[in-house]
Amino acid sequence: MSKEKSVDNKKNGVLNKIWQSEDMSSNSFWREAYAYLLVIVGSALFAVGDVMFSNPYLLAPGGTWGLSNVLSTVFGWQISITAICMDIPLLIIGTIILGPKFGVKTVVSTILIFVFAWILEHTWGYNPVVHIGDFVTTQPADLTDYNLVPHSDENGGTGLWFKPDYVINTLVTGLIYGAAIGLIFRSGATSGGSDIVSMIIHKYTKISLGTLVMIVDGCITLSTFIAFKEVRLPIYSIVVIAIESFMIDLIVDGLKTHKTMFIVTDRVDTVRDYIINDLKRGGTCFSGTGLFNGVERKMVYVTLERADMVRLRSHLYELDPDAFVNVMNSSEILGKGFKALPKE
């Protein structure tokens, strides 16, 4: 090879590395931009769910914002100010005790939720979106079917009366909260807030973190009964948490449309042929030894879409009536034939 060609090849190699580096940098930038977009949208949705749906119905589905709803109604404090006065110290204390594990996005999300909630409080007020009929400006003679929106204006007014629709509002509140927190989780941020209290207690007591989160949020939810003496309020708040949890799983993990099957069979070739030729899918076969009698058997590991899993399961008796099958949900499948592996 001539010296000139060698120099050209080296130049091309250097240029390729630069282009690859720029491409990776560009991808990294857009991923971060997308993550912060999720933080912004999620924070805005959270503020909407709290100020416009949760607070007017006196709900407190856990967290510092749920507790702020109760304190706001009882003492007349502004929700956003009350929540941020709890969130910021908790973040500082959590960072000191647990270390810097919360990240910049969590801090950004905390501040953005405060900003969006503050804007809504001064533009929309605490008026509900979901209600039956029109608002009533004077106290109705019969209060049986009415709720009062406290502090609905900035002039210290007593508020507006409205007929509530608890079922629809609870459903919508759970969906909004779940979508908001799910987007924040997808961005790589955490919820912070009262969860930090659970993390700190977990560090010193070793009680399950999940148990502690349930205890802390449960106490906040029950505070609505203590403050307002209505048993339906904590019940509706718990329903909000249940719907919220479903939505978070849906957004973070997506619809669990894939199933993973472990098939222990003595007719591995028959099962293999059906998977490859009829379902047009691949899989992995490996050997295992039974615990009961010590006999070595083959096991097929395969991940399928739900429809293909149903087809394989329905034909499995014909393929091997003595097969043993374990079917599991698969929330995320990465690799060839499925979702591409992340580059970073």
pLDDT at 224 over 60: yes
Q: What is the mean pLDDT of the chain?
A: 82
Q: Please indicate, yes or no, whether residues 51 and 102 belong to a single structural domain of this protein.
A: yes
Q: Please indicate, yes or no, whether residues 70 and 214 belong to a single structural domain of this protein.
A: yes
**Spacing of C-alpha 94 from chain mean position:** 21
**Does a structural domain hold residue 157?**
yes
Q: Please indicate, yes or no, whether residues 292 and 236 belong to a single structural domain of this protein.
A: no
Query: Into how many domains does the chain fold?
Result: 3
Q: How far are the Cα atoms of 52, 58, 150, 293 from residue 155, in angstroms, in the given order?
A: 19, 21, 12, 81
Digit-coded pLDDT (tens) for 27-81: 777 888 888 999 999 999 999 999 999 999 999 988 899 999 999 888 888 899 9
pLDDT at 154 over 90: no
pTM over 0.75: no
Stretch (H or E) spanning 72: helix 63-75
Instruction: Give the torsion sign (CA, 285, 290, 291, 295).
Output: negative
Q: Please indicate, yes or no, whether residues 61 and 77 belong to a single structural domain of this protein.
A: yes
Q: Please indicate, yes or no, whether residues 49 and 108 belong to a single structural domain of this protein.
A: yes
**Does a structural domain hold residue 17?**
no
**Does a structural domain hold residue 343?**
no
Q: Please indicate, yes or no, whether residues 219 and 292 belong to a single structural domain of this protein.
A: no
Q: Please indicate, yes or no, whether residues 175 and 273 belong to a single structural domain of this protein.
A: no
In the chain, helix, strand, coil percent, each to 5? 60, 15, 25
**Does a structural domain hold residue 8?**
no
pLDDT (0 to 100) of residue 217: 85
Q: Please indicate, yes or no, whether residues 246 and 217 belong to a single structural domain of this protein.
A: yes
Q: Please indicate, yes or no, whether residues 76 and 220 belong to a single structural domain of this protein.
A: yes
Q: Please indicate, yes or no, whether residues 265 and 306 belong to a single structural domain of this protein.
A: yes
**Does a structural domain hold residue 243?**
yes
Q: Rounded distance, CA 167 to CA 174, Å?
A: 11
Q: Per-residue confidence at 17, pLDDT binned at 50, 70, 90? A: low
Domain finish residue from 205, 233, 253: 253
Q: What is the domain extent for residue 158?
A: 131-164
Is there a contact between 47 and 28 (Cβ–Cβ < 8 Å)? no
**Does a structural domain hold residue 21?**
no
Q: Rounded distance, CA 238 to CA 240, Å?
A: 5
Domain finish residue from 253, 282, 297: 253
Q: What angle do CA 227, 233, 234 make, to 5 degrees?
A: 90
Q: End-to-end distance of the chain based on CA atoms, in angstroms? A: 37
